[in-house]
Amino acid sequence: MSNEHIPVGQSDEAGMPRYAGIATFALLPHIESVPHADIAVLGIPFDGGTSFRPGARFGPSHIREASRQLHPYHQTHDVHPFAVHQVVDAGDLGVSPYSIASAVSTIERAANEFGEQGTRLVALGGDHTIALPLLRAVAKQHGPVAVIHFDAHLDTWDTLHRAPIWHGSPFRRAAEEGILDQSRCLHVGLRGGVYDRVELEDDKVLGFQVIRADDYQEHGVKVIIDRIRARVAGGPVYLSIDIDVLDPAHAPATGTPEVAGLTTRELFATIRGLTGIGIIGADIVEVAPAYDHAQLTGLAAAHTVWEVLSVMAFDAKHGIED
């Protein structure tokens, strides 16, 4: 697509005001209206793996509603993301609300189909359980991948309440299955949510390095970006972003909030610093709108998606796409 083309619906002159009409993500075309999509924003309304406050099944629609005000030009990267790539809204995936195993199977199958069509996914959760089938699909296409996991929590725990797959275990299961490049994975924003030191020791065995939320204050964003880039260099990278990486002041509507987190400015600056690393897919999860106020969390999540799409577009524009 031409870099000068602005898709229908992205201009205030298009006729329909941004606050009206059907809310696709950022007013993008639906997938059925284009012959091919380079990137699809896919809703996965599943929260059957959550361990505390439920409601992330309503996250995709909440994020879409908050995305209405997104504009088509990224000032920092000097790029029109929706002109560089054909980006679409693929709607929501129908998954079982009663069976984790069934939901995971459905997500993996759908993600594989997108990959076979040459379409990369940016998924809207849903709880963090969805990361496992999405990682299985990208690893099937690319081999073991690096994961940059933005989260307040490890999510490398083992079985809980007899459930081996839940929103606290996706990266343990992924490591065990050999679909992660364990020399290139890390957590960003970790704080709280640990019962015992042994959990941190187990996490190291699985190959994750840790950047804590406190490191942002001690070292600054630039140092952290350099650490991330050095860690993930050398192959494809998947971003998995739990909205609870943000402080509840910035994102109150999530299932397991932890205080003393990142600001939206810190998160966005970090993502903007990831150009050229080879992002092959992403998820933004754990938005539970029943706990939101003034769309704070929905807006943060929608703009997080926008930042990820903009990095992917910057790479393509400059010929450094994976």
**pLDDT per residue as tens digits for the range 283-319:** 999 999 999 999 999 999 999 999 999 999 999 999 9
Check whether 215 has a pLDDT greater than 50.
yes
The percent of residues above 90 in pLDDT, for the chain, comes to 91
Q: Which two tokens stand for residue 184?
A: 């290139």
CA separation for the pair 139, 225 (Å, rounded) = 24
> Which is it for strands 39-44 and 279-285: parallel, antiparallel or unpaired?
unpaired
Q: What pLDDT does residue 193 have? A: 79
Q: Which of 104-108, 147-151, 199-203 has the lowest mean pLDDT?
A: 199-203
* Burial zone of 204 (CB within 10 Å; 0-12 exposed, 13-18 middle, 19+ buried): exposed
Check whether 9 has a pLDDT greater than 50.
no
Q: What pLDDT does residue 313 have? A: 98
Q: What pLDDT does residue 8 have? A: 44
DSSP string, 237-282: EEEEEEGGGB-TTT---BSS--SS-B-HHHHHHHHHTTTTS-EEEE
User: By three-state DSSP, how is residue 57 classified?
Assistant: helix
Cis previous bond, 125, omega within 30: no
CB atoms within 10 A of CB 58: 18
Taken in order of first residue, the domains within the chain and their CATH numbers are 25-317 (3.40.800.10)
Please compute the mean of the pLDDT values over residues 77-100 and round it to a whole number: 97
Average pLDDT in the chain:
94
Distance of CA 264 to the CA centre of its chain: 14
Please compute the mean of the pLDDT values over residues 115-135 and round it to a whole number: 98
CA separation for the pair 106, 127 (Å, rounded) = 15
Per-residue pLDDT band at 6 (split at 50, 70, 90): very low
Tally of helices (H runs) and strands (E runs) in the chain: 10, 8
